[in-house]
Chain A
Amino acid sequence: MSWLLFAMLFWVVALWVNIRLANSSLSETRAVKLAVPVIFGVTVLVVWEGVVRGLEVPPVILPPPSAIAVKFATSLPILWEDFVQTFIKGTLTGYILGCGSAVAVAIAIDRSDFLQRGLLPVGNFIAALPIIGTAPIMVMWFGFDWQSKAAVVVAMVFFPMLVNTVQGLAASEAMQRDLMKTYSASYWQTLLKLRLPAAMPFIFNGLKISTTLALIGAIVAEFFGSPIRGMGFRISTEVGRLALDMVWAEIAVAAIAGSVFYGAVALIEKGVTFWHPSQRG
């Protein structure tokens, strides 16, 4: 009971502190701007811990965060091995291949009406395939290791990237294209100096959507066959052993990796499309 009371008390105090901070004259300072979300996050963890202990929730249903943290800290080598297998090898490789080829195909599509009518529907078709169905097929084709996971990621990120890039390549204004024509600019000059830069906000939209898609794809694909490492493999086997604290530790790794991945792409976007109204601020 004391755990529950402690959790509630902590919650009320933290809420009060945050309200005071947000309304204080310091609310615009960097420290307070950082403190408010941190206090919120800590509160969530404390309440979680208190409720789970207070109500004696079985660890199979929901382990307390402290147990997850202990598991995380004691399993670092395994988590790292899984991270390298699933994220560095599967996700990143697939992401780079998928996004890169989608941009290349988008440029080809944009140049030729024939390809536009032929390839866009094919891209749409591939995007409509359920990952549950394609993943085992990819495992058959490319083997149990990370290559098949990368292939699944390619299939997942290709279409959103393609559609965004095709749309972006149409984003330059007719007047700007006329301007390039008055300079007798070649196709490639117009592409590199006008149309690709103008497409960047769209391309980065696709890149950002693809970060989370890629990670999900790589994890889920491991459910259908994998060497004895990888985040998806670990999740599916540890669930079978009812070791839910390990599952949560893997989820934490996935959440951190996914957020950092997205944040990194968003940061690059800020640098590349600084000129766009949405970034100027």
Chain B
Amino acid sequence: MTSDAVIAARDLGLTFQTNDGPVHALKDVNLQIARGDFVSFIGPSGCGKTTFLRVVAGLEEPTAGQITVNGMSPDEARRARAYGYVFQAAGLFPWRTIAGNVKLPLEIMGFTRAEQEKRVKKVLQLVDLEGFERKFPWQLSGGMQQRASIARALAFDADILLMDEPFGALDEIVRDHLNEQLLKLWARTGKTIAFVTHSIPEAVYLSTKIVVMSPRPGRIHDVIESPLPRERPLDIRDTPEFLEVAHRVREGLRAGHAYEG
């Protein structure tokens, strides 16, 4: 293991015991994520990409192998507030305003009131939601709600951002816009981001490293280091380099599927 690995998994496995027998959600996963990486996990349903993220977050216990987050166990890392987690749905609390929702982790972690106000202001600016502090989530569009949930994950300034298909439920135009914003945010904050997606263009556009996974058992099929520069305008998606990476991802997904049967 290299010292700059923020997330390091070795022979990681997770088997769920169900009534229909054991399900191998993850098997022999070996992966290193370096500081400042933007890593996408892509693969069909059941390939374990979300499960891997949940293991990193300490929401699931692995049944085999080892994983460290910032050199600690996932549980310790969670208690050390090492990461912010963005779920598939925004999951904002409808009884709290947008500012109140962003404040939620800060209240739980015991920040002072002044510090809370300061941070809420800062992260809402970061996701372009100034002026919406006093609105309630149900008064906002889906895209704005998801941006608020990203602000909430950023509020306590963890080094790692775990994102589980955060834009999966949004339409393509909104998604493009949020992808662009996310890249800017990543460039500005230098965070390490692990990002689960179903979309090949999204994965290629965003990532420095693309992890292609295959199902039954869930494992890593290919890890692609992206040759694209870190600075990425939206029209980079029409360049040959982009298409080549996308092609390789698609090949990987197809080959991963061929194992089935």
Contacts and interface: CB of A to CB of B under 8 A. Distances in A.
Interface in A166-181: 173, 175-176, 178-181
Contacts of B94: 275-276
Interface in B30-80: 57-59, 78-79
B16 interface: no
Contacts of B59: 178, 181-182
Residues of B in contact with A, size category: 20 to 34
A183 B59 CA distance: 11
Contact of B83 (A178, A182, A193): A182
Given A185-B108, A189-B108, A179 B136 contact: no
Residues of A in contact with B, size category: 20 to 34
Nearest to A273: B95
B142 interface: no
Interface in B145-179: none
Given A275-B94, A275-B136, A179 B109 contact: no
B230 interface: no
Question: Chain A CB within 10 Å — which of B57, B59, B89, B95 has the most?
Answer: B95
- Grouping DSSP codes into helix (H, G, I), strand (E, B) and loop, the B interface class, with mixed when no group exceeds half, is loop
A185 B109 CA distance: 8
A207 B94 CA distance: 22
A271 to B, nearest CB: 11
- Grouping DSSP codes into helix (H, G, I), strand (E, B) and loop, the A interface class, with mixed when no group exceeds half, is helix
A97 to B, nearest CB: 27
B143 interface: no
A2 interface: no
Contacts of A280: 138
A175 B104 CA distance: 15
Interface of B: 57-59, 78-79, 81, 83-85, 87-89, 91, 93-95, 104-105, 107-109, 136, 138
Interface of A: 173, 175-176, 178-185, 189, 193-194, 197, 200, 273-277, 280
Given A178-B87, A193-B93, 6 more contacts: A178-B85, A182-B78, A183-B104, A185-B108, A194-B93, A275-B138
